[in-house]
């Protein structure tokens, strides 16, 4: 990369120069999409930067940025960077109390926030943040009589005056920037302990962005909807780094609850969403189709079937029979294209999802109706950039191949190690943490366990710390197995055991909703969860799911040993109130193993019925005993198949 484009402020100047009149930023405001060209953005940023400088913002200082995705908040990042400062975007939905830690940790003096709500919160936090001196706000609504806060408009006025007085100041400052400088500190919403500030350099993000843009051929004609938290690494890569590298247009929605409408209006060509968003969308589609006329429903059902058969293949340009192609073309006119349109996805060239495992059916659905949905893998420490799925090489259970310039290595315990220019510089003021996550060879320890499949794509299977070993020495990844089970609508929760055992066994919670329906359709009467779970038909139903999972596992080389031999359908639903799940509904494996020791023993014995009594808390707080005789079911397992034939 040529040295003079090594920082974001310089990239901005470059765009203003080569495509000054093309749209850079849009925001749905006052009913229309207000648009700023690259030239205008450059000018706004210049005013902001000069304003900050005039009011004493110095090189190396950190600028806190809090609020929804607003153009001027994005711009203030560049403004800070132009002065050699560091942007510190923070999660806008966090309560004031949480602000305090980050503001102090980053020794924030200057903060730019969105509106009255954020101002109120930061003022609430201020007393505990001695360093904080200057607060600027974007939206003046309701802030008339506030003391000690200034509007960005005012800030820019000051800036413009300052600029007139010191015409060369801005360009000099930008010129002094180095690509090795830290451009941003992103705080990881650490599940354990205090959040850590991840310091990323201009270079790291620019390289990652360039890699990604090259990989998916993104250019200045693309456009993206910026609706994910600015403090999240993904948004920083897609809506900021790639924006300034590729020079495409970012679009800020009118408000949180109009995102879907705005998506429909903008019709972005490049889109990112976490799996749950896609899941909710699909559910909505299904619900809305329910009320459609029989004809439409028929069409929809028929053509989605067609798509399931050949859609993905056509998207991947794989050979497909002529008849199917014709049918698909017809379906495209009648269903897929209109559907993409109402979802606002007609123009999408590349869509990514990441952050959690996505169900294969869900994933396939979007691809089958012609939306190029792909998965990627990365973390805050790696600029959200490690693996990408190449067009035509998309699988639902991998996260793709190593991104350009990235080195991947699987460690002994199966942990994924990565090395490359996109790695974090350090954890802010946490040398210890830095040292422990980056080893001597410069490899970053992701904390995820995974394996490289035969096609060279990375498959993430579990958190490294959860991965165990079976007596046979094979790797045991409970989450991976549990996820596979949970992808079945009938299975709500699953807990797999096998660490230090000869075989894998599992507890299963059926999904009352879907199994309930299933039972009613078959006229199976049941009194409640426990009763339904004990029905032999239900055992058979779940058994089939388990065996499908086994079949899949059998094809996955090292994991084929993790096939489930025996399982139990639990007599009660795992429940946070009984401490069996975390509040975020993650299974607390060890606690459960203790609580249901009897059952585990039974699973690993040759008994096929086990009596159990459990203490449960009811909604009203009372607690009582639930007793049941649980059947233990054998599940068919298959010999480890050669992975190649499967792929």
Partner 1 sequence: MTPGRSSGAVLLAVDNISLSFGGVKALTGISFDVREQEIRAIIGPNGAGKSSMLNVINGVYHPQQGTITFRGEVRRDMNTHRAAAQGIARTFQNIALFKGMSVLDNILTGRNLKMHATFIEQAIYLGRARREELENRRKVEEVIDFLEIQHIRKTPVGKLPYGLQKRVELARALAAEPILLLLDEPMAGMNIEEKQDMCRFVLDVNEQYGTTIVLIEHDMGVVMDISDRVIVLDYGKKIGDGTPDEVRGSQAVIDAYLGVAN
Partner 2 sequence: MFYREAGQFKTSYQADVAIFPIRQDRIAIALIALTAFVVIPLLATPYLFTGILIPFLILSLAAIGLNILTGYAGQLSLGTAAFMAVGAFASYNFMLRVPEMPILLAFIGGGTIAALVGILFGLPSLRIRGFYLAVATLAAQFFILWFLTKVGWVTNYSSSGVITAQPIVILGYTFATPAAKYLLVLSIVGLMALAAKNMARGNVGRSWMAVRDMDVAAEVIGIRLMHAKLLAFAVSSFYCGVAGALFAYVYLGTVEPEAFNLDLSFRILFMVIIGGMGTILGSFLGSAFVTLLPVLLSMTVRYLDSNLNLHIAESAISNLEFMVFGGLIIFFLIVEPHGLARLWQIAKEKLRLWPFPH
Site residues, partner 2 (CB under 8 A): 26, 31-35, 264-267, 285, 288-289, 291-293, 296, 299-300, 334-335, 337-347
Give the chain's length: 647
Q: Tell me the CA distances in angstroms from 62 to 98, 104, 234, 289, one per residue in order.
A: 18, 11, 20, 50
Q: 257 or 619, CB closer to partner 1? A: 257
- Contacted entry of partner 1, partner 2, none for residue 530, CB cut-off 5 to 8 Å set by kind: none
- Contacted entry of partner 2, partner 1, none for residue 293, CB cut-off 5 to 8 Å set by kind: partner 2
The two structure tokens encoding residue 17: 């120069």
In three state form, how does the secondary structure of 404-423 look?
Answer: CCCEEEECCCCEEEEECCCC
Residue 559 contacts residue 646 (beta carbons within 8 Å): no
The helix (H) or strand (E) run that includes residue 519 is helix 512-521
CA distance 526 to 532: 5
Q: 220 or 261, CB closer to partner 1? A: 261
CB atoms within 10 A of CB 301: 12
CA distance 6 to 398: 33
- Contacted entry of partner 2, partner 1, none for residue 29, CB cut-off 5 to 8 Å set by kind: partner 1
What is the per-residue burial (b if ≥16 Cβ within 10 Å, else e) of 606-620?
eeeebebebeeeeee
Instruction: Provide the H-helix boundaries in 3-143.
Output: 8-18, 38-54, 71-82, 96-105, 116-125
Residues near partner 1 (CB under 8 A), total = 13
| Binding to partner 1 in span 241-280, by CB under 8 A | 254-255, 257-258, 261
141 lies in the site for partner 1, by CB under 8 A = yes
CA distance 220 to 22: 9
Nearest distance from C-beta of residue 365 to partner 2, angstroms: 15
| Span of 139-147, 297-305, 530-538, 548-556 interacting with partner 1 by CB under 8 A | 139-147
- Contacted entry of partner 2, partner 1, none for residue 267, CB cut-off 5 to 8 Å set by kind: partner 2
220 lies in the site for partner 1, by CB under 8 A = no
147 lies in the site for partner 1, by CB under 8 A = no
- Contacted entry of partner 1, partner 2, none for residue 364, CB cut-off 5 to 8 Å set by kind: none
Q: What are phi and psi of 57, to 5 degrees?
A: -75, 125
- Contacted entry of partner 1, partner 2, none for residue 59, CB cut-off 5 to 8 Å set by kind: none
Residue 230 contacts residue 89 (beta carbons within 8 Å): yes
Nearest distance from C-beta of residue 11 to partner 2, angstroms: 24
Among positions 2, 145, 291, 440, the unique one binding partner 1 when judged by CB under 8 A:
145
Q: 258 or 514, CB closer to partner 1? A: 258
DSSP-derived secondary structure for 142-178 = T-TT-SS-EEHHHHHHHHHHHHHHSTTHHHHHHHH--
605 lies in the site for partner 1, by CB under 8 A = no
Q: 1 or 333, CB closer to partner 2? A: 333
Q: 265 or 466, CB closer to partner 2? A: 265
Q: Where on the phi/psi map is residue 206: left (φ > 0), alpha (ψ -120 to 50), or beta?
A: alpha
Nearest distance from C-beta of residue 345 to partner 2, angstroms: 7
Contacts 24+ apart (CB under 8 A), 459-465: 459/397, 459/398, 459/399, 460/377, 460/399, 460/416, 461/414, 461/559, 464/413, 464/414, 464/415, 464/416
DSSP code at position 581: B
- Contacted entry of partner 2, partner 1, none for residue 292, CB cut-off 5 to 8 Å set by kind: partner 2
Q: 268 or 543, CB closer to partner 2? A: 268
Nearest distance from C-beta of residue 26 to partner 2, angstroms: 7
Q: C-alpha dihedral over 266, 269, 275, 281, to 10 degrees? A: 40
Residue 76 contacts residue 48 (beta carbons within 8 Å): yes
Q: 143 or 334, CB closer to partner 2? A: 334
Q: Is 642 helix (H, G, I), strand (E, B) or coil?
A: coil
Among positions 4, 29, 439, 601, the unique one binding partner 1 when judged by CB under 8 A:
29
Q: 177 or 253, CB closer to partner 2? A: 253
Among positions 56, 142, 472, 576, the unique one binding partner 1 when judged by CB under 8 A:
142
Q: 104 or 261, CB closer to partner 1? A: 261
447 lies in the site for partner 1, by CB under 8 A = no
Q: 288 or 617, CB closer to partner 2? A: 288
Among positions 3, 144, 168, 193, the unique one binding partner 1 when judged by CB under 8 A:
144
Site for partner 1, rule CB under 8 A: 29-32, 141-142, 144-145, 254-255, 257-258, 261
């Amino acid at each position: 990369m040529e040295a003079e484009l090594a920082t974001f402020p310089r990239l901005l100047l470059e765009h203003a120069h080569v495509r000054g009149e093309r749209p850079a930023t849009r925001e749905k405001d006052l009913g229309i999409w207000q648009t700023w060209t690259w030239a205008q953005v450059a000018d706004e940023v210049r005013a902001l930067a000069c304003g900050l400088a005039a009011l004493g913002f110095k090189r190396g200082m950190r600028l806190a940025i809090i609020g929804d995705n607003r153009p001027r908040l994005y711009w203030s990042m560049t403004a800070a960077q132009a002065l050699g400062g560091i942007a510190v975007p923070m999660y806008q939905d966090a309560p004031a109390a949480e602000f305090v830690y980050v503001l102090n940790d980053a020794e924030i003096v200057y903060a730019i926030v969105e509106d009255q709500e954020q101002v109120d919160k930061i003022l609430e936090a201020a007393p505990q943040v001695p360093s904080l001196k200057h607060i600027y706000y974007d939206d003046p609504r309701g802030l008339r009589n506030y003391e000690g806060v200034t509007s960005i408009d005012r800030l820019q006025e000051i800036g413009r005056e300052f600029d007139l007085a010191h015409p060369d100041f801005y360009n000099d400052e930008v010129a002094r920037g180095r690509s090795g400088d830290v451009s941003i500190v992103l705080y990881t919403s650490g599940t354990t302990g205090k959040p850590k500030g991840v310091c990323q350099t201009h270079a790291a993000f620019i390289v990652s962005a360039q890699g990604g843009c090259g990989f998916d051929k993104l250019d200045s004609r693309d456009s993206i909807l910026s609706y994910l938290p600015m403090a999240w690494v993904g948004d920083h890569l897609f809506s900021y780094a790639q924006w300034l590298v590729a020079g495409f247009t970012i679009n800020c929605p009118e408000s949180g609850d109009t995102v879907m409408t705005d998506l429909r209006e903008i019709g972005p060509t490049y889109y990112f969403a976490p799996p749950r968003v896609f899941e909710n969308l699909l559910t909505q589609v299904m619900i809305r189709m329910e009320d459609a006329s029989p004809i439409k429903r028929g069409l929809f059902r028929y053509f989605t079937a067609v798509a399931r058969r050949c859609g993905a293949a056509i998207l991947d340009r794989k050979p497909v029979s002529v008849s199917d192609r014709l049918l698909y073309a017809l379906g495209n006119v009648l269903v897929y294209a209109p559907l993409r349109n109402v979802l606002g996805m007609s123009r999408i060239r590349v869509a990514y999802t990441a952050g959690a495992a996505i169900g294969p059916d869900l994933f396939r659905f979007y691809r089958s109706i012609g939306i190029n949905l792909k998965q990627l893998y990365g973390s805050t420490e790696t600029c959200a950039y490690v693996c990408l799925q190449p067009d035509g090489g998309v699988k639902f259970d991998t996260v793709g191949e190593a991104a350009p310039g990235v080195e991947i290595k699987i460690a002994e315990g199966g942990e994924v190690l990565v090395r490359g220019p996109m790695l974090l510089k350090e954890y802010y003021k946490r040398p210890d943490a830095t040292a422990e996550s980056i080893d001597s060879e410069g490899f970053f320890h992701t904390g995820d366990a995974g394996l490289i499949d035969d096609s060279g794509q990375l498959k993430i299977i579990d958190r490294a710390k959860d991965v165990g070993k079976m007596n046979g020495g094979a790797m045991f990844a409970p989450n991976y197995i549990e996820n596979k089970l949970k992808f079945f609508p009938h299975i709500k929760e699953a807990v797999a055991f096998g660490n230090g055992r000869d075989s894998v066994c599992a507890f299963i919670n059926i999904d009352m909703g879907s199994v309930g329906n299933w039972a009613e359709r078959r006229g199976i009467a049941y009194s409640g969860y426990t009763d339904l779970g004990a029905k032999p038909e239900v055992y058979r139903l779940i058994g089939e799911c388990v065996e499908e999972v086994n079949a899949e596992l059998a094809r996955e080389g090292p994991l084929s040993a993790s096939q489930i031999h025996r399982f139990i359908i639990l007599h009660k639903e795992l429940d946070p109130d009984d401490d069996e799940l975390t509040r975020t509904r993650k299974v607390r494996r060890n606690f459960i193993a203790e609580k249901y020791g009897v059952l585990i023993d039974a699973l690993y014995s040759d008994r096929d019925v086990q009596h159990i009594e459990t203490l449960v808390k009811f909604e009203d707080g009372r607690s009582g005993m639930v007793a049941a005789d649980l059947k233990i079911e054998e599940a068919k397992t298959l010999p480890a198949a050669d992975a190649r034939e499967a792929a």
